[in-house]
Amino acid sequence: MDKRQKILIVDDSKLNRDILKEILGDAYNYLEAENGNQAIQRIGENIGIDLMLLDINMPQMNGFEVLKIMKRSQCIAETPVIMISSEDAVDTMRKAYELGITDYITRPFDSVIVKKRVQNTLGLYMNQKHLINVVYDQVYEKEENNNIMIRIMSNILGSRNSESREHILHIKTATEMMLRQLVKVTDAYPLTEADIALITTASSLHDIGKIRIPEEILNKPGRLTDEEFQIMKTHSEIGAAIIKDMDFPQDHPLVHTAYGKSAGGTMKDGTERVIRMA
């Protein structure tokens, strides 16, 4: 398997493409495109392009149009672009940077500059990808730990009240489904995967206070008396106290999301409404 980094060279001149490959040598795996349309096609066909070297003036679709498409599809955040051109006007360079390029190299090429800028850009993005992977791994690990905690808690509550176990799992599933649908239909709630995981976990904690409700009240088959109902209502304050005892900082999102004002915070961005609906 070829483990070399993959570079897409986009230029309508075969001579220019060959010069760049000659300068960079055999250290990389190359893809080529002679116009913007081919460039977009190559991006769609090939996963894991590590760098694009992009000319400006090309037939069918120029470099700026390619950048606009990449920016709209957000793939420019994953694939760094170095613009290559004989144009050195400040306005041209500014426009390219505004569209998301990482660097700008002018022709005629200086082999040392080309090599160093390509190496620097690839190194920078490799480090960035590594950090992103580390964060994803940490989020995944936390989510797994949260799921274990939720299962333990639902089993504890379920051992005292069978309805509580099913209720916790229902709330968790319904909250996650509604949050994902919310992100799809509106831009008003820009929730990340980490946000969704946190809110979903918090929704599962909303009944944790029932652990300290007397079993004869929790499992009473008939209607609760007024006094028993008042005791049952205290489960939210009990739950808030349990969350506080976990030594979370008062500004920790889990404190604000799980119990809102009861835990000394307030739910924000409409997440309370989602949990109440669930």
Lowest-confidence region among 51-60, 159-168, 262-271: 262-271
pTM of the entire predicted model: 0.54
Three-state helix/strand/coil letters over 111-155: HHHHHHHHHHHHHHHHHHHHHHHHHHHHHHHHHHHHHHHHHHHHH
Residue 75 lies in a domain: yes
Domain check: are 159 and 263 in the same one? yes
Q: How far apart are CA 276 and CA 175, in angstroms?
A: 9
Residue 69 maps to which CATH number?
A: 3.40.50.2300
Quick one: pLDDT band at residue 268, thresholds 50, 70, 90? Answer: very low
The residue among 55, 75, 109 that closes a domain is 109
Count of the separate structural domains present in the chain: 2
Widest CA span of the chain, in angstroms?
A: 88
Residue 272 lies in a domain: yes
Domain check: are 233 and 137 in the same one? yes
For Cα atoms 25, 100, 137, give the angle at the middle one, nearest 5 degrees.
Answer: 80
Report the chain's mean pLDDT, rounded to a whole number. Answer: 80
Quick one: pLDDT band at residue 93, thresholds 50, 70, 90? Answer: very high
Residue 128 lies in a domain: no
For Cα atoms 7, 99, 8, give the angle at the middle one, nearest 5 degrees.
Answer: 10
The residue among 93, 109, 125 that closes a domain is 109
Q: How far apart are CA 257 and CA 205, in angstroms?
A: 10
Residue 127 lies in a domain: no
64: containing domain: 6-109
Q: For 165-214, how does the pLDDT look when each residue is reduced to its tens digit (9 = 90+)?
A: 677 778 888 888 988 888 888 777 777 877 787 788 777 777 777 778 88
Neighbouring C-alpha atoms within 13 Å toward the C-beta of 45: 10
Q: For 211-228, how does the pLDDT look when each residue is reduced to its tens digit (9 = 90+)?
A: 788 878 877 888 888 898
Domain check: are 142 and 246 in the same one? yes
β-bridge partners, 82:
53, 103
Domain check: are 192 and 142 in the same one? yes
